[in-house]
Structure 1
Amino acid sequence: MRFSANLGFLWAGHPLPTAIRRAAAAGFDAVECHWPYAEDPAAVRAALEETGLPMLGLNTVRGGEGCFGLSALPDREPAARAAIEQAMGYAVAVGAEAVHVMAGFAKGREADGVFRSNLRFACDLAESYGITILIEPLNAHDAPGYFLRDTDQAAEIIEAMDAPNLRLMFDCYHVGRTEGDVIARLEALLPLIGHVQIAAVPDRGAPDHGELDYPKVFAALDRLGWTRPIGAEYRPAGAVEDGLAWMEDAKRAR
């Protein structure tokens, strides 16, 4: 069992190169981030090469105050495509494997059409770089009004578009809050999943407490043949290094 440190939450107060080095020292097998664009990509790449950690992915930008992505907004298509190009350029510069295309707050048929059109643009652009495009449903408690509401909606889009590099980001925290029955959803959606993330339900803390039994989730992922690093996207209660017993236990168990 391998784990990726999501540096949007873990060591978030440090420059990204420093956070990468801390993740390596703490025993993580990979890293991922949210919005790294203020960081020098050459320094980020140097830290990745120094530690040997892969960068699994990054997000397209929020798009301004009150926004959480642009790609499903009917009146923001040029900005959405500029954000995709920006993310792709940064991903190539640091060697990231995936770009999460954020949909934003929108609903309705027009938003759906715009989102699919922008995803097609992203998939076509990413194909030449060997980069995966990820989409992620967000729960309505944390992101009310977000376009992607649940895994059924995301799966329908992925299957209808039939793009080999378009995959689902399956965040156990969001699925646990919105849909429940996380293991059954993992089993059903495994062929579409490109990345798995974890956090406690419902407080988004470390995956060592709460409603979701993560040892059972890890055992299910093992049984399903999942071998990629699992993204630790949680809010630490204190120093990250002081709260990693859950990861040590998971690695020992396998």
Structure 2
Amino acid sequence: MYQFLIVAIMSYIIGSLFKIGDGNRKYSLEFAKGFLTLLMSGFYLHSGLSYLMASAGILAGQSRPVFSRVNGYSAEVVSLGIIFYMSPVMGIVLALLFIVLKKVLKDYNQAVFASCLTIPIMAFRTFRSDSFIIISLIIFASLAIQFWPPFLEKRIKSGLLYDMAIGLGVLGFLILLYFNKYVYKGFGIQKDIIRHGPHHFKYVALTFDDGPDPVYTPEILDILKEKDVRATFFLIGKNVSSHPEIAQRMVEEGHLIGS
């Protein structure tokens, strides 16, 4: 788990640093920050959770920088860089939509707000990865709060929306930690839940479900190879599509793939 925390902390630091004033250089830098942060997190740890932590970190650093005297900066260009990394097509469509809306609405903030309303729809139609969908929803919530229009401010305060988003984010992170510790990794030292079968059976069926996972599955395969043990892996289609090399390794090392 510490690897994901490293990704989040480093991304937050990157988001807090490298500020430039107005102009094209500012937009180019912020776009690069969003794009390159996800690119580097993928090099470090190619995992959906890694991309999720990197996105949350860079957006938090951009909006609430720790190294700046100002309260923060808007995150629309950084968000576009993140989206462009996940899907260049979706990024181009969003950019073109913003340009059209800016000409129609004659207002930068309203154009950003109107554009961000399409992000959830495009995300569900574009991405198969759960983490990319969650990242898109985080971006949508962040931009909707930052660019909340004045006529809606009279009905619902953007500060209230921000507090709600932070609360839901913290709750989601705690749930993620719980699943990572007690579901994805198993129950650790709670040995009382392990049922010992009859001793006269010479064989046991060793199975692993819901893989392949880029972090845990290779570690499992390393242990099985070291102990010269074969197992059955029950895989999820979209995970296999994302990490076909792990499934290929299972077959090459003599394991069975169930369905």
Global fold match (TM > 0.5): no
TM-score (norm 1): 0.29
TM-score (norm 2): 0.29
Q: Hey, which of these two has a bigger chunk of helix by percent? A: 2
**As a proportion of its length, which structure holds more strand?**
1
Larger radius of gyration: 2
